[in-house]
Every structure is written in C-alpha cells, then in structure tokens.
A and B are shown apart, each in its own frame.
Chain A
Amino acid sequence: MKMAYYPGCSLDGSAMEYGLSTKRTAEILGVELVEIEDWNCCGATSGHNTDKLLSLALPARNLAIAEQTGLDVLAPCAACYSRFRNTEHVVRHDPQIREKIENVIEMEYKASNDTLSILELLVNKLGTDKIAAKVTASLKGMKAACYYGCLLVRPREHTGFDDDEDPQSMDKVVQALGAMTVDWPHKTECCGAALATSRPDVGKKMIYEVIKNAKAAGAECMVTACPLCMMNLDMRQAAVEKEYKTDLQMPVYYVTELLAIACGDAPRKVGVERHFVEAESYLASLPAKAAAIEAEEAARAAAKAAKSPKARKAAADEGASAPATAETAGGPAAAAKPAAAPEGASPDGDLEKKINAMIKGLQKNPEKMALKLIADEERAAILAEIIKSDEKKVAKLAELMISDKDKAGKAADAYVAGELKKRAK
C-alpha cells in the first residue's frame, strides 16, 4: 500500500516521537509513505478561528499537491486530520466555495482523494489481524486508557470511521498488541488543546479531569493519537500535579510507539525517552506483570478444574495423602493446581504432592527460598516477608516453581514490585 504522507508541523518538532513511530509503523506493516512535496501548515485552530476561507485554503494547497499523485493522504496529527477532512467535505458539497479556494491557491482541487487518520489506516485499511500477526513482544500486563480526544471522531459527518461517543478503534489496536484497555467515560472529552497556553487557568483543569478519570478507571498508562493531547497530558502533567497538589505519574504513549515496541522495536528507537513523564520503566515492568497475570489465570483455571466433579473425585481418591485443604476449592493447594490439569487421578495427585511439598519448603525457610527466586538480597528479603504473610501468593509461587521456574521468578519480581509500590504510598 502506498500513501501520501502529511506529517504536519508537530511531528517534526514537539511530537517527533509520533513522527518516528509513525514511520516505523508504516515500515512494519508494509505501507509506503510518500511525503507531500513542500507541504505547508494546515492553519489548525487559529486558522478557523480567524478566517473561514483561510482555514480552507491552507489545507487545500497540501491536498491539491497530493491529489496530483492520485494517493490518499495519511495525516497522523488529529488537528491536521480534522482540518483536511473539513476541507474535503466543503469542497465536495459547495461548488461555489471550491471555486474560491481554487482561485486562492491557484491550483485545481476536486477532493477526489481521502485523508485518513492513523486509526482508520490501522483498523479499517490494514485490520487488527495483520497487526496482531506482527507482534513479537506482547504488551500483556499493560492497562491502558485509550484517549481519542475531540478531533479524531468529531464531527461524525466529516470523520465517520468510529463512534463519536464511545469509539473503539484505538482500543482494538492496543488490544491486538496484547494490552488490556479500560472502559472509561472521558475517551472523547477535550484536553483543552491550545487553551493550556492561552488560558492555563482553564486548560489545566481540563487536563486534570482527563487524567484523573483515566486513573479512576484503573488505567496505568494512557494512549493517544494526537500531538496536542500528548503535549497537554505529558508535557504539562507536572504543572497540573503542582496546581492540584496531587501525584498523577501517568505515562502517556502514542499508539504508534506502542505498535512499534510490540513489534520488536526498542522503546528508545521510537523516542520514548523523550517524554516528560518517565515512560520507559512502565514498559520494562510489563513482563513481570504479565507473569503475575498468567499465574493468576492459571490459578483461576485450576480452581475451576478443582470444582468440576471429575477433579473432586480425583481429590477424594487422593484424600488419604492430600491435605484437607485440597478439598475446598478456595484453599491454597487447590488454587495452586496447574491450568492444564492432567487426565487421570494419579499424575494429578503426584503434582499436588510436589506442590504441597514446595509450599512447606517455602514456609519453612522463606529467606533461603526467596534467594532462589530473586538474586538481589534486598528484594529477596521483601519476598521472604511476603511468603511469610500471604498464603495465596505462596501457593502460586510453589505451583510456578514446579511448572516453570522462569515464570516463578517473574511472578516473584512482580510481587516485590507491588509491595514496594504499596510501601511508597
């Protein structure tokens, strides 16, 4: 696939990570981008605040140049995208104004080509299956609030690729990368855009509301496809924290950054280290979180299996040797049953014996066992405390140590990280 590419002013400057990662996204997915020759600024909000004809003519010059190539246009910046879609709409529906525009730009322009947002390209043109097939470093463990803002989905007559109240396209992309997305009410609420500069008293409150709501919905990071949203959520987050005397610490990513990273790029290759709110360590914490989730999933599946009549019978058969806790689904040993419970009573019983022995070992000598899982002495000491106080975690660790040592290490790491976070609060 070949597309005309309109980076817009931000992607060369304040949003350079968006520029870098959009190019990487295109490369990964096999889309050839041809930058529009000698493109100019679209005029953005200042243009349509000032003069209607000017706000149409500035985008039209770029679109007319692209039209000569016969290619559709990719405009990753939500503001540029909105101005382009608006111009296309007007030119298609109002021949009089089209003539005016053509006179002003001294070029023919019929709006025969379409401008696409990055989300439209990813979801509607390429499809999430194609994206999922390229993922080599899943973002499992990530809890993201997808933030669409205003201009990507409004007004529906101009954009039309997604719902304007509860859009889903970005969620689908982020899910295809392995992450979990939260359902939250501020998906399309405005961040204030340039008001943060012209009227910070108004803008800061708007930014605060958006981040606060993402946090309340359980998100650990936010994802955007707009340079202005990024500028407000990321660069101005510290000022907002100061104004509202609160600690937000919310890393924000461009959807294209996440795509490139999930497809194997190092975060620094797409510029994540340039963010204002430190965003690398959250990415680094994902494998441990993923291991913890997997352990939980395994435990849940095991608990379910234990509830099934077959497993109950197996447990009853083993009753003599297995401890009493195995009979109750909520007990540590039952919760620790592996996800794929082997057929037949005997291997199942063997495994349970091993796990119970491991639990005993862990509880008898927590300090020594913790060092087996974590090399760092300080962190191992914390793990030992967790082992002493949390039966459920001990059961999970025991199960993992028998089924997959690597995962046990990762889960242990995640427990310690969680504990440290709790203490920090």
Chain B
Amino acid sequence: MGKALQLLPASASDKALLARLEEEAGTSAKLCYQCGKCSAGCPVGFAMDNTPRQVIRLLQLGLLNEALDAQSIWICASCETCSARCPRGVDIAALMDALRREALKQGRINDKKVAVFNQAFLSGVKKFGRTYEAGLLMQHNLLTGQLFKDAELGLPMMKRGKLSILPEKIKGRDQIKKIFDRVKEQGGE
C-alpha cells in the first residue's frame, strides 16, 4: 500500500454501499480478524496490489473507494481458496465478486483487460446463446489492441478441429436476448 490514509468515520453512503455489497455476497466483512490465511493461500496474491486480507480491511474501515480501485479485484481468479480456508467463515471470493460488479457499474475499472474479456464473452452469448470461441479470441485481441496474441493457439486449434470459424447458434436466441434485457431492466449488466 505505502500510502498514508486519514481515517475518518465512514460516510453514510459508504456504509450503505458496504451493507449492500455484503448482502449481495451473503457474508460480513466484520467477521474477519485479519489472520491473513486467505492471502497466504491466494494463488494470484503475488500479482495483487492489495492482498485479499487488505481488501477486506479496507472494507472494514469503510474505505470503499480504495477497495473499488484496487487492481486485486480484477486479478482475482475466483478460485475460492480464500473462502474455503477462512477460519471466520467470511466469503471473501463473493465479496471480491460483488466489488468487481460494483466497480463495473460505476465505470471505475482498474484492469481493462479482464473487463474487456468479460464483455466480449457475454456479447457472444447474448447474440448466439453459446460461447463463440473464435469470435471471442478475435474480438478480445481487437479491443485490447493485441492483434496477434494467442495466434499460436488459434491456428493449431483450427487444424485440430477445435475451433470452428462460424458461431454455433441455438434456436432460442430470442429467449436469451430477453434474459439479458430483463436483467438490464432490473438495474444490472
């Protein structure tokens, strides 16, 4: 971290946001006693700016902005090792998930590559009802400006019949589109 923070009582809006995130995650950050077991076992901890324990500490202190701006929430691979091992039963992975979605909603994305991948993935699902692997690779590369990334995968995959150029479409595509639309109406996506 290395940054000095002035601790003030959390604002009412921050408190409300934390309560909402905790409800969505079905867990409470207050239970955490900062033992650090989550972070010792985190397989991506090495690449994080704030370890999972530190992210939970930020929440406990009401520093919601700092938590939402942490790169960690985008690097988290959702492997759930932290939640499985927490001696206090805090579902850390679910809080990471809730933070990620909130950051996305507020448009404060600290790791664009992950968000772009998710967007590309879901746009294929919305259009065709299934993952469009070839389209996903291409769209992801276009949006992140890395045209030839994973080229060592694409061609050999095609040769082995593992990547079809055309998307597979389901019959109920209109149903899938409706699912996306209704979720959006409810304030999501």
Contact = CB atoms under 8 A, between A and B. Distances in A.
A13 B163 contact: yes
A235 B157 contact: yes
Interface in B33-80: 43-44, 46-47, 75, 77-80
B133 interface: yes
A50 B104 contact: yes
Contact of A14 (B117, B121, B133): B133
B163 A48 contact: no
Interface residues of B, number: 61
A199 B129 contact: no
A236 B157 CA distance: 12
A103 B131 contact: no
A104 B43 CA distance: 36
Interface in A8-56: 9-10, 12-16, 38-41, 43-54
Contacts of A14: 133, 157, 162-163
A238 interface: yes
B179 A57 contact: yes
Contacts of A53: 183, 186, 188
Interface in B1-54: 24, 43-44, 46-47
A54 B156 contact: no
Contacts of B140: 197-198
A13 B162 contact: yes
A50 B84 contact: no
Contacts of B172: 38, 40, 61
A232 to B, nearest CB: 11
A59 to B, nearest CB: 11
A192 B44 contact: yes
Interface in B145-164: 149-150, 152-153, 156-157, 160-164
A324 interface: no
Nearest to A104: B182
A156 B77 CA distance: 18
Contacts of A57: 179, 182-183
A128 to B, nearest CB: 26
Contact of B160 (A47, A154, A239, A274): A274
A40 B75 contact: no
A205 interface: yes
A280 to B, nearest CB: 13
28 contacts: A38-B129, A38-B170, A41-B125, A41-B131, A49-B78, A49-B100, A49-B104, A49-B118, A52-B101, A53-B183, A58-B125, A104-B182, A105-B175, A106-B175, A150-B78, A151-B80, A188-B81, A190-B79, A190-B81, A192-B77, A194-B117, A195-B75, A197-B140, A198-B113, A198-B117, A200-B149, A201-B47, A274-B161
Interface of B: 24, 43-44, 46-47, 75, 77-81, 83-84, 91, 93, 97-98, 100-101, 104, 111, 113-114, 116-119, 121-122, 125, 129-131, 133, 137, 140, 149-150, 152-153, 156-157, 160-164, 168, 170-172, 175-176, 178-180, 182-183, 186, 188-189
